[in-house]
Amino acid sequence: MKGLIALAAVVACAAITWAAVAEKPPAGVPEGYKLLYAQDFTDDSAVKDFVFSDPSAWKMGEHEGRKALEFTNKVNYKPKVRSPGIFALVATLKFGDFVLDADLRQTGREYGHRDMCLFYGFTDPSKFYYTHLATKADANAHNCFIVNDKPRTNIAKKTTKGIQWGTTWHKVRLVRRGSDGTIQVFWDDMAKPIMEANDTHFNWGWVGFGSFDDTGMIGRVRIWGPEAKQETCTLFKPKE
């Protein structure tokens, strides 16, 4: 019996150690950052983590056996100023300094502005930042943008000519330090950013995902940082 108890203790310890290693901050995450939010979308209840510009455009989807949060471009929402209309925000947490890692899969047709977006510093439907990841860059695509009571304005000091979505999953990282304005965006390669910007208009805000007017899926999400603020977003409705 003692042997069985000892074995059980070893197994339990190993499981705890494995879990700790699995959630250890990946390379590139600053020392002292901890896991503030995690979602793998393995259960349909994951949709309740978010509020939406239009809940009817979002559902739990699946690709090759992998569940994900999915959206369509049929949205009954019109922004007050020119900006993306499709978004889901983590409903109960605000973030200031953070590193966001997510898996994204674009499911729409190929064209220059084929996109998905990351939202951050979201404080109001007309006050937020977003990063637009698109096939081809121009003044209104594949850039970091600020929406501040007027149509979106690009603010990136560095970007690329665009990215290739294809039909597969891609790993995306957003580094945001509201404290000093830093914005860095990584695409598949976490060692070299494809976009950089700096702006201090909005610090703490809600974080989320979406698109200007396309379709896509969001997979594994991790948000690391020194702290988050518990504050429920009441600007939009959750999915019933």
- State the pLDDT at residue 20: 38
Per-residue model confidence as pLDDT tens digits over 12-48: 333 333 333 458 899 999 999 999 999 999 999 999 9
Which CATH number is 164's domain given? 2.60.120.560
- pLDDT, position 167: 95
pLDDT, tens digit (0-9, with 9 covering 90-100), for 211-236 = 999 999 999 999 999 999 999 999 99
Q: What are φ and ψ of residue 47, in 5° steps? A: -60, -25
Share of the chain above pLDDT 90, in %: 88
> Is residue 166 included in any domain, yes or no?
yes
What's the chain's Rg over C-alpha atoms? Answer: 19
Please state the pTM of the whole predicted model. 0.90
The answer to whether residue 22 is domain-embedded is: no
Total domain count, the chain: 1
Q: Report whether pLDDT(180) > 90.
A: yes
Task: Please state the φ and ψ torsions of residue 72, each to the nearest 5 degrees.
Answer: -110, 175
Domain that residue 136 falls in: 30-238
Q: Tens of pLDDT along 197-217?
A: 999 999 999 999 999 999 999
The closest of 185, 169, 168, 165 to 219, measured between CA atoms, is: 169
Residue 118 lies in a domain: yes
Does 222 map to a domain?
yes
Does 6 fall in a domain?
no
In a domain, residue 25? The reply is no
Strand partners, 98: 176
